[in-house]
């Protein structure tokens, strides 16, 4: 019998990383008091208020002003189309200007566009107002440094200390010292689209696509990008109203896209999330082409071109067990990091690799960008498809897919904090692993972006993993207490 765990043991495996970006171990692996695994995130009006946003702007400008080249910082701000994004953008901009930073507003754009444009405009930092794949009541604030990478742990810690501990008072600026606000949305969008379109290779003109924009930031960039590529396409969920972002659409709700692709005789379907840093796909038969399939397909494509550094792909524990069989057959090494794109990025930077990602559709191609980018992933997927000479459905067999169940236990911060130390939970996890044996896996972790404890169970029997997963999730809730 094929033993996926034996295959895993053969592959090079990085230690589980407890760090963010480039900054080394973060608070002994925990999230910060304001910054989580992907910036600041919460329900607007509750955890995330205009006052919090303004203080983040003020503290960020203070910290940036102390950098060698940023006596008067210039900060670029983008946003997704949530109802609350305008308010939070205004608050962050006010905070930045109040302590002497200049602001360039670039409008509604994907998160990766902001990361790219920071370097394009030679700004000192970038701010993205978005809660990514979360529903409309949530929003978030992500900070990027001048290099286009997410702000380091050390700088985030300084910002937190100013806001929460009063480590330093906010300076008072007057007259010409106050920052200015300018806007350049159209030119910024064009610059980003031009860059991504310039990465296209091969004959793409004959393709016919259906693209789900998640009623999010991709709604502003997908049409001009696909027009530049010369493909035939239709867009759906590309009319955001501030409240419908990620609502029964996008990469987190991809099921309906498959039927539309099949019925409409499209060559493939693409789905972004709310801030367009993720991509999933469906083939011409309407079958979901998972994030793991995309990583396998693109990894093999890059390796064939001699562009997969160290023949290694960085993945996370959420990656399907079947991926390890693909990697061994393809002569590709796997490096396992903690769940989260920041940990994937850290491995790539520390070990001289250039490709990795997550099952959710968040992929990092360091040769082209500093962060996950759904549009970039789409172009590279189309390049690989053109090079293959066949339909996407042929690539479904690139890896065996083991049944997997993902469950979420609603959790307070206290429940998340107690997760790793509770002896009853530890026993329940070990019991679940014993029930599956060497033919399955269990992964339990607190979400860094939502009020959930995530439970992943994977194995050869769909019925068995469903039962094990439900039992484990119920036991965790029983021991840690239901979230009111």
CA geometry: angle 148, 280, 186, nearest 5 deg: 45
* 439 is a catalytic site residue: no
Tokens 């409240």 belong to residue: 243
Rounded CA separation 12/336 (Å): 8
Of 151, 160, 153, give the one whose Cα is nearest residue 127: 151
Which helix (H) or strand (E) segment is 294 a member of?
helix 291-304
CB within 8 Å of 114: residues ≥ 6 apart:
76, 77, 78, 106, 126, 127, 128, 142, 144
Rounded CA separation 386/208 (Å): 12
Task: Report whether 477 contacts 415 (CB < 8 A).
Answer: no
Ordered alpha helix ranges (H), 360-422: 374-388, 413-419
Instruction: Count H helices and E strands in the chain, helices first.
Output: 15, 18
The two tokens of residue 323 are: 């991926």
Rounded CA separation 140/78 (Å): 12
R_g over Cα of the chain:
22
The active-site residue, picked from 132, 152, 219, 251, is 132
The two tokens of residue 465 are: 């993993």
CB within 8 Å of 194: residues ≥ 6 apart:
228
3-state secondary structure of 183: strand
CA 231 from centre of chain: 26
**Catalytic residue list:** 132
């Amino acid at each position: 019998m094929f033993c996926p765990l034996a295959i895993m043991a053969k592959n090079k495996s990085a230690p589980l990383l407890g760090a963010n970006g480039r900054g080394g171990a973060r608070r002994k692996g925990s999230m910060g008091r304001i910054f989580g695994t992907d910036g600041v995130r919460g329900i607007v009006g509750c955890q995330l208020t205009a006052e919090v946003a303004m203080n983040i702007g003020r503290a960020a400008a203070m910290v940036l002003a102390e950098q060698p080249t940023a006596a008067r910082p210039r900060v670029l701000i983008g946003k997704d189309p949530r109802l609350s994004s305008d308010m939070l953008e205004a608050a962050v901009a006010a905070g930045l200007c109040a302590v002497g930073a200049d602001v360039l507003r670039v409008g509604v754009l994907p998160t990766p566009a902001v990361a790219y444009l920071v370097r394009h405009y030679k700004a000192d930092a970038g701010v993205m107002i978005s809660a990514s794949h979360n529903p409309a009541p949530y929003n978030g604030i992500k900070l990027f440094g001048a290099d286009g990478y997410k702000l380091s742990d050390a700088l985030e810690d300084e910002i937190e200390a100013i806001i929460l501990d009063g480590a330093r008072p906010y300076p008072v600026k007057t007259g010409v010292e106050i920052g200015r606000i300018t806007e350049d949305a159209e030119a910024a969008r064009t610059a980003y689209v031009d860059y991504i379109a310039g990465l296209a290779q091969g004959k793409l003109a004959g393709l016919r696509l259906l693209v789900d924009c998640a009623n999010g930031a991709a709604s502003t960039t997908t049409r001009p990008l696909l027009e530049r590529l010369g493909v035939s396409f239709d867009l759906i969920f590309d009319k955001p109203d501030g409240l419908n972002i990620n609502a029964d659409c996008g990469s987190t709700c991809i099921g309906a896209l498959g039927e539309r692709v099949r019925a409409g005789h499209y060559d493939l379907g693409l789905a972004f999330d709310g801030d367009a840093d993720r991509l999933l796909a469906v083939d011409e038969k309407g079958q979901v082409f998972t994030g793991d399939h995309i990583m396998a397909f693109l990894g093999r494509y890059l390796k064939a071109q001699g562009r997969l550094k160290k023949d290694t792909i960085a993945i996370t524990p959420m990656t399907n067990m079947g991926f390890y069989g693909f990697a061994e057959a393809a002569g590709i090494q796997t490096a396992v990091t903690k769940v989260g794109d920041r940990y994937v990025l850290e491995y790539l930077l520390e070990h001289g690799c250039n490709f990795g990602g997550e099952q959710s559709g968040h992929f990092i191609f360091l040769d082209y960008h500093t962060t996950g980018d759904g549009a970039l992933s789409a172009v590279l997927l189309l390049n690989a498809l053109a090079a293959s000479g066949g339909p996407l459905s042929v690539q479904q067999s690139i890896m065996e897919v083991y049944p997997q169940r993902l469950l979420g236990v609603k959790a307070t911060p206290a429940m998340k904090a107690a997760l790793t130390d509770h002896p009853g939970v530890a026993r329940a996890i070990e019991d679940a692993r014993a029930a599956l044996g060497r033919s399955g896996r269990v992964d339990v972790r607190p979400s860094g972006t939502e009020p959930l404890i995530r439970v992943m169970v994977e194995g050869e029997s769909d019925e068995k993993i469903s039962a094990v997963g439900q039992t484990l999730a119920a036991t965790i809730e029983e021991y840690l207490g239901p979230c009111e």
